[in-house]
């Protein structure tokens, strides 16, 4: 059977996606082709010709992406740190910006003395992204992950099982509410780092179709100012952290200074720092649990 050039099909797909309003049309067109071919996007040039049947499947996939189904729901994977996570309907798709929170967590863990096994808690874990990426990078850490939504937990369990199969240290998954005053009481005052990418979008914020139609609502919105879940979580975080331990919480562009103010309020935290993302937008706040005098 005559094989057909792939590149013109990718160019056409990029135009289709651009017209549909997709934010990164060429990247997505290439990712979908790479996914079907089972190669990395950067190696597509090594596959100049494809079977007509593959092109047909490619056009189907592009048509679905043009209907604003998230790219990661079509490929079935999203990345965090060094690992891939299975994602799809029912779970929040991990975002590249959360890599900053992940990198901060690893850097903080590096500063700890080597006199104990570090304990990390990921509140609102979704697919397990942060918890599993930390467990992969730091096999010496004891990592706990908390998630309230049963559908998200199903994805987190699947990802946790995949990581164990790949040889990573198992994490401990907790089906629980991150604002529960009784959450993880056996870890009181013993946790080195709490990380969280919680629901933080202010209610009513306009969102792309990929987000509003496909990420679970509970993963997105955090009340009028976006901080409802964070406010509920903070007493838990404060109770869990050891003196000198740290917390880092991702937030919306609009509510970073309020989050920093919440952390700075009671004198229970020092070094409250607002961290920007690569575009210079405020992205997460980190703070250190004070040592009692």
Ligand X SMILES: C[S@@+](CC[C@H](N)C(=O)[O-])C[C@H]1O[C@@H](n2cnc3c(N)ncnc32)[C@H](O)[C@@H]1O
> What string of DSSP letters covers 21-52?
T-SSHHHHHHHHHHHHHTS-GGGGGG--EE-H
Pick the closer one to ligand X by CB: 66 or 74.
74
DSSP notation for 135-176: HHH-TTSEEEEEE--HHHHHHHHHHHHHHHHTTPPPPEEEES
Binder of ligand X out of 178, 240, 285, 287 (CB under 6 A): 178
Q: Which is nearer to ligand X, 235 or 244 (CB)?
A: 235
| Residue 227 makes contact with ligand X by CB under 6 A | no
- Using rule CB under 6 A, residue 152 touches ligand X: yes
The angle formed by the CA atoms of residues 32, 69 and 161, to the nearest 5 degrees, is: 75
Q: Is 147 annotated as a binding residue?
A: yes
Closest CA to 233 of 283, 151, 178: 178
The vertex-104 CA angle with 132 and 141, nearest 5°, equals 40
> Distance between CA 29 and CA 12 in Å, rounded?
9
- Tell which residue, 33, 115, 122, has the closest CA to residue 85: 122
Q: Per-residue x/- marks for ligand X, 8-47, CB under 6 A?
A: ----------------------------------------
Q: Is 126 in the site for ligand X (CB under 6 A)?
A: yes
Q: Is 147 in the site for ligand X (CB under 6 A)?
A: yes
Rule CB under 6 A: is residue 99 a binding residue for ligand X?
A: no
In whole angstroms, give the CA distance from residue 141 to residue 96: 23
222 within 8 A of 234, measured Cβ to Cβ? no
CA distance 255 to 236: 20
58 annotated binding-site participant: no
Give the residue, chosen from 28, 168, 177, 252, that forms a contact with ligand X under the rule CB under 6 A.
177
Of 70 and 126, nearer to ligand X (C-beta) is 126
Write the interaction track for ligand X spanning residues 184-203; mark x where CB under 6 A is met and - where it is not.
-------------xxx----
- Please identify which residue in 36, 71, 124, 246 interacts with ligand X, judged by CB under 6 A: 124
Q: How far apart are CA 31 and CA 247, in angstroms?
A: 35
Q: Is 197 assigned a ligand-binding role in the annotation?
A: yes
Is residue 226 at the binding interface for ligand X, with CB under 6 A as the rule?
no
Residue 117 C-beta: closest distance to ligand X, Å:
23
Question: Using CB under 6 A as the criterion, which residues of the chain lie in contact with ligand X when the complex forms?
Answer: 92, 94, 98, 124-127, 129-130, 146-149, 152, 177-179, 197-199, 216, 218-219, 229
């Amino acid at each position: 059977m005559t094989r057909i050039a792939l590149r013109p099909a990718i160019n056409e797909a990029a135009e289709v996606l651009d017209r549909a309003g997709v934010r990164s049309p060429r990247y997505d067109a290439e990712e979908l082709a790479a996914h079907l071919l089972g190669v990395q996007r950067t190696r597509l040039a090594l596959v100049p010709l494809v079977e007509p049947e593959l092109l047909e499947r490619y056009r189907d996939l592009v048509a679905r992406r043009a209907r604003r189904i998230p790219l990661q729901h079509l490929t079935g994977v999203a990345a965090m740190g060094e690992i891939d996570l299975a994602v799809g309907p029912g779970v929040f798709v991990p975002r590249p910006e959360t890599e900053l929170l992940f990198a901060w967590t690893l850097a903080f863990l590096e500063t700890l003395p080597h006199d104990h096994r570090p304990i990390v808690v990921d509140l609102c874990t979704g697919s397990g992204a942060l918890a599993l990426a930390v467990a992969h990078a730091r096999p010496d850490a004891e990592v706990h992950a908390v998630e309230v939504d049963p559908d998200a937990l199903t994805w987190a369990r699947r990802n946790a099982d995949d990581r164990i199969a790949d040889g990573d240290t198992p994490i401990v998954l907790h089906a629980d509410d991150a604002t529960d005053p009784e959450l993880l009481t056996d870890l009181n005052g013993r946790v080195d780092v709490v990380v969280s990418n919680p629901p933080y979008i202010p209610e009513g914020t306009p969102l792309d179709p990929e987000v509003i139609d496909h990420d679970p609502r509970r993963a997105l919105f955090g009340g009028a100012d976006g901080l409802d879940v964070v406010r509920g979580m903070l007493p838990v975080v404060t109770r869990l952290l050891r003196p000198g331990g740290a917390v880092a919480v991702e937030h919306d562009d609009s509510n970073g200074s309020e989050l920093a103010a919440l952390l700075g309020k009671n004198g229970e935290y020092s070094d409250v720092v607002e961290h920007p993302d690569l575009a210079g937008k405020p992205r997460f706040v980190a703070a250190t649990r004070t040592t009692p005098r």
